[in-house]
Amino acid sequence: MELVESTFIPLFLVFTSALALSLGHCVGMCGGIVLAFTQMKKPSWVGHLAYSVGRLCSYECIGIGFALLGRAFALSYVWREWASVLVGVLLIIYALCYGFFPRILRFLEPKVDSRWLGRAFGTLLHSRSLWSFFGIGVLNGFLPCGLVYFFALYTLNEQILGLSGVMGAVCVMGVFWLGSLPSMLGLGTLASVLQAYQKQAFWASLVAMLGLGLWNIYTGITIMQG
């Protein structure tokens, strides 16, 4: 029972929110890239898979980076004792901003050199190599994205899932990737169907994101009382 509470419940919330958000957010943000290389390069399923694996690698790198940052924070007694509660509060604030005040998050997102990025994408789009699909996925995964940073923020807490910080981050970002995978792989044939459920997906994802924040607060209070 303890394993279910500490591991499967938060991972279920991660998957649910990622799956629901991918119906609108991922299709809207990454759909243009997928459609571009689909039209220009006419990839087989292997090319689409290579692109998705590239995104996974980027997400894992971001998650591990945040986990290592959380480990550095853990040198502080206050962070060690209050990490779950503090991360939970940050997740709730982030989710509310994501849902109702997206301009705040766009202001906080890191800025990238669009000229360099455009050249890199252009080179990869004109390449016929299978590795070019992987490279497009890697670049896509590192694009500033509020959804990615929400789950990366979760990995700041070394106590997630009852695992070590890095392993927890690998699991969280992997499950986030799995949640976004169906809509991205089915983009060409299911785009119109997915778009029809954006409103329902928004509310489902917001509830799951808030639930993940509340779960962190509950876990942190339970740990401190125990």
Q: What is the CA radius of gyration of the chain?
A: 18
pLDDT value, residue 150: 83
pLDDT value, residue 186: 65
Assign 32 a pLDDT band (cuts: 50, 70, 90).
Answer: low
Mean pLDDT for the stretch of residues 19-33? 66
- CA 130 – CA 113 distance, rounded (Å): 26
Q: Which residue ranges make up each domain of the chain?
A: 2-225
Assign 24 a pLDDT band (cuts: 50, 70, 90).
Answer: low
Using alpha carbons only, what angle is made at residue 207 by residues 204 and 211, rounded to the nearest 5 degrees? 135
- By the 8 A CB rule, do 34 and 184 touch? yes
The residue among 42 and 109 whose pLDDT is bigger is: 42
Mean pLDDT, the chain, integer: 77
- List CB contacts of 168: < 8 A, sequence separation 6 or more: 67, 155, 158, 160, 161
- CA 72 – CA 78 distance, rounded (Å): 12
- Flag whether pLDDT at 37 surpasses 90: no
- By the 8 A CB rule, do 191 and 24 touch? no
Least confident of 47-51, 139-143, 189-193: 189-193
End-to-end alpha-carbon separation of the chain, Å?
17
Using alpha carbons only, what angle is made at residue 92 by residues 87 and 96, rounded to the nearest 5 degrees? 145
- Count of beta carbons in the 10 Å neighbourhood of residue 209: 28
pLDDT value, residue 226: 58
Mean pLDDT for the stretch of residues 155-169? 72
- CA 184 – CA 190 distance, rounded (Å): 9
